[in-house]
Amino acid sequence: MTPRTAETSAPVLDTIAERWSPRSFVADHALPEGALRGALEAARWAPSASNTQPWRFIVARRGSESYEKIRENLMGFNQAWAGSASALIVNIAETVTAEGDERPWAVYDLGQAVAHFAVQAHSEGLYVHQMGGFDRDGIRAAFDLPERLQPISVAAVGQLADPEQLPEPLREREVAPRQRIELDELVIRND
């Protein structure tokens, strides 16, 4: 397997250019104790509005009851591949404080924390695939989450496997060329 390094229009850190979101994970890979600590620590140190750190995580390793609860709440074809990941992580935004104050930037801040997590995990040899296709109410009920804690995404984490293990059309998507919208299309104004 070769890295799928992005062709960028300007130099970026190698870890960023090499990071991508596979669906093919080594199904018998178990994360060693402490393997996610560095990635979670990177998430901890992500920037947030007024340093509120409005993110929470449910970390579930394959074989645990929590892992099965998360896997059962994945939707569509995510169930077809995500069960081979070493861990599933529910990314949660604390949109309202325990005192009832709204946190309007919580989802944005969670996104930064998850991005830091993904880059650090990749630098440590793990791959992360983030998903929006899951039953939020099912996750909320499975983990008895209060209304102020909003499940936003789920991340599959593990070791990269050969894409041949995936069924079509997932295999085709796994090896397709990486594409992004051109930078000039993303920047509305650059004075």
Average pLDDT over every residue of 55-63: 98
Q: Does the pLDDT of residue 3 top 80, yes or no?
A: no
Name the pLDDT band for 2 (thresholds 50, 70, 90): very low
Q: Does the pLDDT of residue 165 top 90, yes or no?
A: no
Answer whether 145's CB lies under 8 Å from 92's CB. Answer: yes
Answer whether 62's CB lies under 8 Å from 86's CB. Answer: yes
Give tens-digit pLDDT for 103-147: 999 999 999 999 999 999 999 999 999 999 999 999 999 999 999
Give tens-digit pLDDT for 142-153: 999 999 999 999
Answer whether 46's CB lies under 8 Å from 116's CB. Answer: yes
Which range, of 39-48, 143-152, 166-175, averages the lowest pLDDT? Answer: 166-175
Answer whether 128's CB lies under 8 Å from 25's CB. Answer: no
DSSP, residue by residue, the chain: --------SS---HHHHH----S-B-TT--PPTTTTHHHHHHHHTS--GGG---EEEEEEETTSHHHHHHHHTB-TTHHHHHTTSSEEEEEEEE-B-TTS-B-TTHHHHHHHHHHHHHHHHHHTT-EEEEE--B-HHHHHHHTT--TTEEEEEEEEEE-B--GGGSPTTHHHHHHSPP----HHHH-S---
Cβ neighbour number for residue 130 with a 10 Å cutoff: 18
Name the pLDDT band for 13 (thresholds 50, 70, 90): very high
Give tens-digit pLDDT for 66-94: 999 999 999 998 998 999 999 999 999 99
Model pTM score: 0.93
- Cα dihedral 119, 109, 64, 126, rounded to 10, equals 0
Q: Name every residue whose Cβ is closer than 8 Å to that of residue 154 and which is 6 or more positions away in sequence.
A: 70, 74, 78, 82, 88, 89, 90, 91, 130, 131, 134, 139
